[in-house]
């Protein structure tokens, strides 16, 4: 239906300091979007199609942290003190996604059921955030924008003249998120949800 949806996202990640101002990370996210209802026929009251979107993302990235973070062995903190991840950072990421589109059409008398369609592809984007750290505990906020590629086409087999034999395409174009982070720092590694 070529529209934008709002939803919730959750996940976890691990980030490692590799230089005083540089970190690398891996992150897994699962997003669930609000269902949409629309009609594929001229009669929207009778043939309503409900679409539910779930997207899984796995990405790897790098961050540049502004300021002067200090960790053990980098000229300031005693041995055993965790790396300081606090402050503003900017970064990029790349990876892949799988989008699962579940279509329920209970009022469709010829073919009433739930249909699952999957679309896989590459994704990449930018993110920026701010962390507050107290000892080994960390909280943060991050905004991100990602572009996605890949689509999946399938042939509609509905026994209706308007639909039968037509190609249907599912794809994910872009996503954005505002994330709250909570994590624990052990030496130069941050683990967060």
Q: 134, 102 in Cβ contact below 8 A?
A: no
pLDDT in tens, 98-136: 887 776 655 545 555 666 777 788 999 999 999 999 989
What's the pLDDT tens digit per position in 148-163? Answer: 887 766 655 554 445 5
Model-wide pTM > 0.85: no
Confidence of residue 183 (pLDDT cuts 50, 70, 90): very high
Please state, in angstroms and rounded to a whole number, the distance separating the CA atoms of residues 152 and 148: 13
pLDDT tens digits for range 9-39 = 999 999 999 988 899 999 999 999 877 766 5
pLDDT at 49: 62
């Amino acid at each position: 239906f070529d529209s934008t949806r709002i939803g919730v996202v959750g996940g976890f990640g691990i980030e490692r300091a590799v230089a005083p101002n540089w970190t690398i990370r891996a992150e897994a996210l699962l997003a669930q979007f609000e269902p949409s209802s629309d009609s594929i026929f001229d009669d929207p009251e009778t043939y309503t199609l409900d679409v539910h979107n779930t997207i899984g993302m796995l990405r790897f990235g790098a961050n540049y942290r502004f300021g002067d973070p200090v960790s053990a062995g980098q000229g300031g903190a005693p041995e055993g003190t965790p790396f300081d991840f606090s402050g503003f950072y900017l970064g990029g990421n790349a990876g892949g996604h799988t989008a699962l589109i579940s279509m329920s059409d209970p009022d469709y008398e010829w073919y009433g059921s739930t249909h699952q369609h999957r679309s896989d592809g590459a994704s990449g984007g930018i993110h920026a955030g701010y962390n507050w750290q107290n000892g080994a505990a960390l909280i943060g906020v991050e905004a991100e924008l990602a572009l996605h590629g890949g689509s999946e086409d399938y042939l509609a087999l509905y026994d209706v003249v308007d639909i039968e034999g037509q190609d249907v395409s599912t794809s994910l174009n872009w996503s954005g998120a505002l994330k709250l982070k909570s994590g624990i720092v052990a030496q130069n590694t941050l683990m967060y949800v």
